[in-house]
């Protein structure tokens, strides 16, 4: 969690995201090998395919589409560096897995910067028709006048995720009973041989800030007033193809028994105007930011073409002093598709003394279910619903800075009238409550060169169990840090074990790209053990990892991400990160 009282505000390589300044990590080895989904998630067995978390995370973001991963992974970062900086990361893994990430950023003068980044995941997977090919391109340019009376920022982001869909194994008992790790997974029959899911999400955004007045002194004390204008255009599209249908796999075929091409296309234009008043005196600061937002959207399915608008008003407040940090933002929808929707989030840190703080994070969201949860018509799925608004209340509290170095969190989430997908792969609304009570405890021990990090999470699911969460999840990381080759090589080596309680499997619908609840067997009580070693020579970091190294060693394979979708077997990963400075 961000520690607002110990930011390295003068770090040479900075980026800002959501108005929070962060330093670019160029040297740490502790989590360098974590570049992908870990075992606190269940996924479809190949990097880049669909996944969902075993540890409940309340979703405060709502949009017009649920079936498109709308706005996920979109990057809005502004970099500020004193010399041109380039970072390249490449990972090669088993079963032709490749991960590539590059970032270049440089200030073209004291008043401006441009940045360009690209990330790619390409993996064949263990089974037929399991390939993923995900691409994310990011660009940012910002410039401000010498006296900072005007600033303009441009963001561009394009994500294209292509995932082959195999519908899972036809007979998963073959996998469960096969204890031979050397068996060829490609020989296992799958349900779909010609299906594919393509998601494309593009966003272009322009932010403009105009300084109205300022009386700041050389120490930054005083006040200033600004007007901010934001213009955002989104284009999002999901297409599900299946060129030769397996009629025994699909529960329904509504229009064509030979070919499927289901489309959702969204174009959204949003305009926001806000006023920002900020004040600072010594270690205390305050900002007040009221805003209005208007958005226009067209939504298209194969047989549905609809147009919507939405008008929101809101306010954001930030207050900070030596002992307190408060950030709060709320908005209310006055008219449009999401009329009477409410979203209010707050985050408070109370610094009791130099070595202890406590945080509070209350949230309230009342929102209209997305358009495609209300109405959808595809070749294999259709419904016409009239859902009520969903109300989500969440309260989280805990400490992440204290004398004992303990990270403690307690969270309560109450969801009224949640929407889920039932065993018929239909969107349904539950006329009642679902509650999640969650407690987590973590501690980091440093014993000489040893680093030990235990973590335990307990979860209680009340009401309708639509999340299929385990009651508990525990991880243990043990690592040893030392220097080799005459103290010229930093080395960090260790292991991580993940273990969670039994939970009933979700099923996965390729045609919807969604997990749904159905009567399924339980999984869990299977440890996931990984080994890693990371090292650094000057500006180059490398790592080697073995993930799920205990797979196939217990005589029975019962590790799945969804019904008929085995998780990844033992696999190696070799990665390199090289930072270039000029």
Positions in the chain whose pLDDT score sits under 70: 1-12, 18-19, 60-62, 70-74, 178-183, 554-556, 582
Structure tokens at 344: 């209010």
Residues 6 or more apart whose CB falls under 8 angstroms from that of 77 comprise 15, 16, 17, 115, 138, 140
Classify residue 400 by its DSSP letter: S
Structure tokens belonging to residue 145: 């006048």
pLDDT of residue 350: 93
User: Comparing C-alpha atoms, which of 120, 23, 1, 135 is closest to residue 79?
Assistant: 23
The tens digit of pLDDT for each residue in 56-85 reads 988 766 678 889 875 555 678 889 888 899
Closest CA to 163 of 241, 262, 220, 110: 241
Q: What is the pLDDT of residue 14?
A: 75
Q: What is the distance of C-alpha 376 from the center of its chain?
A: 26
**Residue 10: predicted pLDDT:** 44
* Architecture label for domain 13-581: Beta Barrel (2.40)
Q: What is the pLDDT of residue 1?
A: 32
User: Both tokens of residue 144?
Assistant: 């401000």
Residue in the structure block whose two tokens are 């018929």: 424
Predicted pLDDT at 64: 84
Tens of pLDDT, residues 264-296: 999 999 999 999 999 999 889 999 999 999 999
Which pLDDT belongs to residue 5? 31
Rounded Cα distance, 198 and 48, in Å: 12
C-alpha distances in angstroms, 249 versus 129, 169, 336? 15, 11, 40
Three-state SS for 325? strand
The answer to whether 190 touches 127, Cβ cutoff 8 Å, is yes
Integer-rounded Cα radius of gyration of the chain: 25
Quote the pLDDT of residue 73.
57
What is the rounded distance in angstroms from the CA atom of residue 529 to the CA atom of residue 533?
Answer: 14
Whole-angstrom distance, CA of residue 395 vs CA of residue 414? 9
């Amino acid at each position: 969690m961000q520690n607002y009282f110990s930011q390295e505000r003068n770090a040479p390589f900075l980026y800002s995201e959501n108005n929070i300044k962060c330093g670019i990590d160029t040297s740490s080895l502790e989590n360098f090998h974590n570049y992908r989904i870990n075992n606190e998630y269940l996924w479809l067995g190949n990097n880049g395919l669909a996944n969902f978390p075993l540890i409940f995370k309340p979703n405060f973001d709502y949009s017009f589409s649920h079936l498109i991963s709308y706005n996920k992974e979109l990057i809005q970062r502004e970099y500020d560096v004193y010399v041109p900086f380039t970072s390249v990361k490449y990972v090669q893994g088993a079963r032709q897995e490749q991960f590539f990430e590059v970032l270049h950023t440089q200030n073209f003068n004291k008043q401006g910067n441009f940045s360009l980044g690209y990330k790619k995941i390409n993996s064949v997977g263990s089974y037929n028709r399991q390939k993923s090919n995900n691409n994310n391109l990011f660009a940012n340019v910002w410039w401000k006048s010498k006296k900072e009376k005007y600033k303009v920022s441009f963001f561009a982001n394009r994500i294209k995720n292509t995932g082959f869909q195999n519908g899972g194994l036809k007979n998963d008992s073959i996998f469960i009973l096969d204890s031979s790790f050397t068996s060829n997974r490609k020989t296992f029959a799958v349900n779909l041989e010609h299906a594919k899911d393509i998601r494309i999400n593009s966003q272009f955004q322009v932010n403009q800030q105009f300084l109205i007045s300022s009386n700041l002194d050389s120490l930054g004390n005083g006040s200033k007033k600004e007007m901010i204008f934001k213009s955002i255009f989104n284009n999002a599209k999901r297409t599900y193809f299946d060129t030769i249908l397996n009629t025994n796999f699909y529960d329904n075929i509504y229009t064509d028994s030979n070919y499927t091409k289901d489309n959702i296309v969204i174009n959204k234009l949003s305009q926001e105007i806000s006023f920002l008043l900020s004040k600072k005196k010594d270690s205390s600061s305050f900002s007040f930011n009221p805003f209005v937002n208007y958005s226009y959207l067209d939504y298209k399915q194969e047989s549905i073409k609809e147009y919507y608008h939405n008008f929101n008003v809101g306010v954001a407040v930030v207050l900070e002093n030596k002992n307190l940090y408060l950030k709060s933002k709320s908005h209310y929808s006055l008219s449009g598709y999401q009329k009477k929707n409410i979203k209010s989030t707050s985050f408070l840190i109370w610094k009791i003394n130099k070595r202890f703080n406590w945080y509070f994070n209350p949230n309230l969201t009342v929102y209209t279910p997305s358009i495609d949860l209300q109405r959808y018509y595809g070749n294999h799925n259709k419904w016409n619903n009239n859902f009520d608004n969903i109300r989500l209340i969440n309260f989280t509290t805990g400490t992440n800075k204290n004398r004992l170095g303990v990270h403690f969190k307690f969270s309560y989430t109450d969801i009224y009238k949640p929407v889920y997908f039932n065993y018929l792969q239909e969107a349904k609304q539950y006329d009642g409550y679902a509650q999640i009570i969650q407690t987590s405890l973590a501690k980091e021990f440093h014993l000489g060169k040893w680093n030990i990090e235990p973590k335990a999470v307990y979860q209680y699911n009340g009401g309708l169990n639509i999340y299929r969460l385990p009651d508990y999840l525990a991880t243990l990381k043990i690592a040893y840090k030392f220097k080799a080759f005459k103290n010229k090589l930093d080395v960090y080596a260790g292991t991580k074990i993940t273990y969670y309680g039994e939970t009933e499997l979700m099923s996965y619908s390729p045609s919807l790209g969604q997990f749904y609840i159905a009567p399924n067997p339980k999984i869990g009580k299977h440890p996931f053990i990984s080994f890693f070693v990371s090292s650094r020579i000057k500006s180059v970091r490398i790592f080697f990892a073995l993930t799920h190294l205990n797979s196939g060693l217990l005589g029975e394979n019962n590790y799945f991400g969804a019904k008929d979708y085995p998780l990844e077997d033992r696999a190696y990963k070799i990665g390199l990160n090289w930072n270039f400075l000029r």
